[in-house]
Amino acid sequence: MMELPNSADLTESLKSVGLTKYESLVYIALVRVEGATATEIHEISGVPRASVYPVLDRLIQKNLVIVSHSTPRRFRAISPEEGIDNLLRQIQADADAAKQVLQEIYRQRVTADGGMEELIWSIYGEEKIIQRLEELIAHAAVSIRIVSSGQFLQKIVHSVLRTGERGIDIEIISDHPRPAGACPASVHWTTVPVSLGQAQPQIENMAGIFIVDGEKALLLMGSTDVAPTALYSESTGFVNFFMQYWSFIRGLHKKA
């Protein structure tokens, strides 16, 4: 009998596609054999024998298991390739349906009596910040201005280059060297040394300013030991302030 991979990871992954703990354990057990009775499933999976029956019913409903009405009944797994794709298909259909309706609502959303674009919004955690930034960069229409630490910039550089390929005017200041290989003509890259002494502003480890189309700005703040935070705003004041800061930095490095 082969060793079972870490089944806690597996049941956790299968929970994402809608399986309960017992459903996962039973399906995993069945995947390992060509077929089994309920009692055998109980022995392989550790799920209580009486519970195996309703669990199997549910797995049959979910098109992960088929039954032979022998005596005793025998059960067989549908291949994971097929079974999981079937589950995912339904989830995707539901997600698409919801997305369509919601996106329509979103496009017609109520225009409040202003003020929202004056707000500064907070985003916590590197993953969410990257997702927000990639979205902003992907939808840039005119220009992108960036000053960013290389440590962070490398995580989004592929998005930046992809947007550059559509001819969007992009100017980057960073301690990260210009990437070797294909770099679109519309991407202007200024590489700065990591440390230029006390008189020069330094680029922090996890820091950056990202200005899109001269009207949206995102300020990344963080250090390597604390989860990063970003502030995002469409406020004219906020954007202008960082546009000027960006120009200042660029001016410094043009002289150097």
Q: Is the dihedral of CA 142, 147, 151, 152 positive or negative?
A: negative
**Residue 169 binds which one of DNA, a copy of itself, none, with CB within 5 to 8 A depending on kind?**
none
Give yes or no for a contact between 228 and 222, defined as CB atoms under 8 angstroms apart: yes
Site string for a copy of itself, 63-82 (x = CB under 8 A): x--xxxxx---x-xxxxxxx
Task: Compute the chain's Rg from CA coordinates.
Answer: 27
Q: Is 135 in the site for a copy of itself (CB under 8 A)?
A: yes
Return the amino acid letter for 95.
Answer: A
Site for DNA in 21-40 (CB under 7 A): 21-23, 37-39
Largest Cα–Cα separation, the chain? 87
Q: Is 98 in the site for a copy of itself (CB under 8 A)?
A: yes
Q: Which is nearer to DNA, 83 or 164 (CB)?
A: 83
- Select from 20, 103, 191, 247 the one that contacts a copy of itself (CB under 8 A): 103
Give yes or no for a contact between 31 and 80, defined as CB atoms under 8 angstroms apart: yes
Q: Which two tokens stand for residue 239?
A: 């954007």
Residue 156: what are its φ and ψ, rounded to 5°?
-125, 5
Q: Which helix (H) or strand (E) holds 95?
A: helix 80-107
Q: Which is nearer to a copy of itself, 39 or 195 (CB)?
A: 39
Residues of this chain that interact with a copy of itself (CB under 8 A) are 1-2, 5, 9-10, 12-18, 27-28, 31-35, 60, 63, 66-70, 74, 76-82, 84-88, 90-92, 94-95, 97-99, 101-103, 105-106, 108-112, 116, 119-124, 127-128, 131-132, 135, 232
